[in-house]
Structure 1
Amino acid sequence: MFVPNTTQDYGDNPIAVRETDTYVSEYVRGFVEKWDELIDWNQRAKSEGRFFIDVLKARGKKSVLDVATGTGFHSVQLLKAGFDVTSVDGSAEMLAKAFENGCNQGVVLKTIHADWRQLNRGVRGKFDAIICLGNSFTHLFDENDRRRALAEFYAALKHDGILILDQRNYDRILDEGFASKHKYYYCGDKVVAEPVHIDEGLARFEYSFPDGSRHNLNMFPLRKDYTRRLLREAGFQKLHSYGDFQEEGEETDPDFFIHVAEKSYGTN
């Protein structure tokens, strides 16, 4: 009988835990059940508006692979907007919650449990677009893992496919310290999310919930230019980055960057 983990365990030295596979054990049942308190689906839907829908529709995309489904927010939003969505996550706990959330929203998610580094073993077919959102790419600590995941994404896309990948503004956190407007991401107003340790190789965030519980995530602090370079070296031909859903320069101090990477040069 499967008994889910309910508590996190980083051992005696949490800031020494810097392995890609750690994320699987981080998303324990107790954390997953509270995750939507952090996101606040209604507020996030208002703040994002039609950004991702418009980016996809402007490029004529229909089939979407959501490789970081989490609790299902973007999969559900895109399904409701008429896209053909396949939902993937490396955490079985997250996928189970996403499926439950989908049912509560009146849609049925097509879910696949898969590791990005071996994505095409479990996911068949080619897609118009892949989305990797929620700062999820920072779960990969090893550069080889990042390159392998991007190669798998690239291979799962059609010849004119696009990848949409987001990340925190770690440049600001590393260089100036942490600050967040909580305007677009992690909109829950009763949850505190802030780093308890930061260096060039680790951003350890702690999430404090109204019931007094605390959970952590260890993530790799990706710098923006480094991420863009990896995308280009993975073979993506055209790259456009946004700051908090605004064109570069319009938002001078964004909490998040969103990269839209196109497999071909295209005409857009």
Structure 2
Amino acid sequence: MSFAKTQDFGLEPVEVRESDHYQEEYVTTLADKWDELIDWKRRAKAEGDFFIRTLKEHGAKKILDVATGTGFHSVRLLSEGFDVTSIDGSPQMLSKAFENAKRHGFILNTCLADWRFLNRDVHGEFDAIICLGNSFTHLFKENDRRKALAEYYSMLAHDGILVIDQRNYDGMLDDGFTSKHKYYYCGKGVVAEPEHVDEGLARFVYRFEDGSKFHLNMYPLRKKYMKGLLSDVGFQRVTTYSDFKQSNLEKDPDFFVHVAEKEYLEEKSD
């Protein structure tokens, strides 16, 4: 398989608002530099044991990582004894994840899959599904978002959970960009910031120390809207964390993390 090395957004980059375009954005050269952006050691320190603790608290053992990227979370979970299946829609990122896992002593169970047709390509039932790294915002159409969440829901055990994160687009849209890069994009000498933001697009630029530059076009999900989607699909309880804290006191967080529970809740009669 030959992988593209340069990005192409055409003559009007801010008009590129298609769910499928991410496959052209994660070119080989970006996949090769992605770990410089997140810095595995610094990111692990920033996150602490939040995801590991959350999964264990819900009794999850069999995990589906639907946006493995270069494999950071899959490898962390494997090292903690979880049974992990790792998928991604980008063959470039999936190849890099396999290499990274092998370097850490693991053989990654991988699958190239589209979230909207997850049941077609991935089989089995999972205790938890994780969709991390702001990945869900690659979906620009509401039908695509609803279809992907419905696929996640159907593949979870009756008491399973979905852990899904997003950037704080509310702050970006309402007050401007003020990210501190304390938790996710921890690489030194790397810049990750929006070049353009409107209600339908957040176009990010990623600059590296060697002078290379890449872009990603994403849909700016608002927190309330995202929680509404999760409820509409059927998740019974959604708990949202601001930079890993279950509190609204965290001012202008970089990220929100939603933990959506599938287990049915009986309505209490008056």
Distance in 2, matches of 1:4 and 1:115, equals 18
SS at match of 1:21: helix
Q: Post-superposition, which runs of at least 4 consecutive aligned residues in structure 1 deviate over 6 A?
A: none
Distance in 2, matches of 1:134 and 1:228, equals 17
SS at match of 1:106: coil
1:10 alignment counterpart: 9
2:28 alignment counterpart: 29
CA deviation map 1:167-213 (0-9, x unaligned): 00000000010111111110012110111110000000000011111
State the one-letter code of the partner of 2:103: N
Displacement of 1:265 in angstroms is 4.5
Identity of paired residues, percent?
Answer: 64
1:129 alignment counterpart: 128
Displacement of 1:266 in angstroms is 6.6
Q: Answer yes or no: is 1:117 the counterpart of 2:116.
A: yes
CA deviation map 1:201-234 (0-9, x unaligned): 0000000011111000000000000000000001
SS at match of 1:25: helix
Q: TM-score, normalised by structure 1?
A: 0.98
1:162 alignment counterpart: 161
Q: Answer yes or no: is 1:85 the counterpart of 2:84.
A: yes
2:61 alignment counterpart: 62
State the one-letter code of the partner of 1:57: K
What does 1:135-154 correspond to in 2, within 5 Å?
Answer: 135-154=134-153
Q: TM-score, normalised by structure 2?
A: 0.97
Displacement of 1:240 in angstroms is 0.2
2:226 alignment counterpart: 227
**1:241–1:247 CA contact under 8 A, matched in 2:** yes
2:208 alignment counterpart: 209
Distance in 2, matches of 1:266 and 1:37, equals 43
**2:236–2:265 CA contact under 8 A, matched in 1:** no
SS at match of 1:93: helix
1:253 alignment counterpart: 252
Distance in 2, matches of 1:190 and 1:106, equals 29
1:238 alignment counterpart: 237
State the one-letter code of the partner of 2:28: R
Displacement of 1:250 in angstroms is 3.7
The alignment of Structure 1 onto Structure 2 pairs a total of residues equal to 266
State the one-letter code of the partner of 1:93: Q
SS at match of 1:246: coil
Distance in 1, matches of 2:247 and 2:149, equals 23
CA deviation map 1:14-64 (0-9, x unaligned): 000000000000000000000000000000000111100100101111000
1:107 alignment counterpart: 106
CA deviation map 1:64-90 (0-9, x unaligned): 000000000000000000100000100
State the one-letter code of the partner of 2:199: E
State the one-letter code of the partner of 1:39: I
Distance in 1, matches of 2:264 and 2:246, equals 19
**1:160–1:266 CA contact under 8 A, matched in 2:** no
1:182 alignment counterpart: 181
Distance in 1, matches of 2:140 and 2:188, equals 30
